[in-house]
Amino acid sequence: MKCFVGLGNPGKQYEHTRHNIGFMAIDRFAEKWGVSSFQNKCKGHLAEMRVNGTKAYLLKPMTYMNLSGESIRAFMDFYKVDVSDLVILYDDMDTPFGNIRLRYQGSAGGHNGIKSVIAHTGTSTFNRIRMGINRPNPGYPIVDYVLSNFSKAETGALPAVLDKTCEAMEHCLSEPFEKTMAVFNGSGN
């Protein structure tokens, strides 16, 4: 069993922002596998599904980015799952737009959603799919950048990025995360 957690902010005003690429990936995966509804549960929107016979959960915390860990902790406690069953999907400024990077440990790197996940799980060792959003131009405030919408060119390329992320999600349902990292962190990503 795996739980894919996409980080983002609830509300229409944040729907298409860079910070919500984690939500976008969860929605794309749900659409791909015919999941049409999420329940309000564990301080988030939660869906249960089967992918090629494997049980999976999709979680979008509705706590706002900075408190994402609260929803994840509620899910872990309710379903009695270990942090090793989680895969966190989120925006990463240190990864070029169009690329994804899979990691199983690391610091928050200034990402407040990941800081909250670390605080509520008690570890910085958990599976992550970091989705590249590039860095803003020098002098451009980071908070304004992550809370702004993707550029027109990025919006056009976004479906391919989300599809690549969904492929990585599917892969880690049938293979160990380390093998998925080897496939998706290779060249041409």
pLDDT in tens, 117-150: 999 999 999 999 999 999 999 999 999 999 999 9
Mean pLDDT value of segment 100-129: 96
Asked if 90 and 7 touch (Cβ cutoff 8 Å), the reply is yes
Q: What pLDDT was estimated at residue 186? A: 65
> In this prediction, what percent of the chain has a pLDDT beyond 70?
98
The span from the CA of 77 to the CA of 147, in Å, is 30
Q: How many CB atoms lie within 10 A of CB 125?
A: 13
Strand-pair partners of 46: 39, 59
The lowest-confidence range among 88-92, 105-109, 113-117 is 105-109
The span from the CA of 73 to the CA of 81, in Å, is 10
Instruction: For residue 121, give the H/E element and its range.
Output: helix 112-121
Q: What pLDDT was estimated at residue 187? A: 46
Residues with catalytic function: 19
Mean pLDDT value of segment 22-26: 98
The span from the CA of 58 to the CA of 173, in Å, is 13
pLDDT tens per residue across span 32-71? 999 999 999 999 999 999 998 899 999 999 999 999 999 9
- pTM of the entire predicted model: 0.95
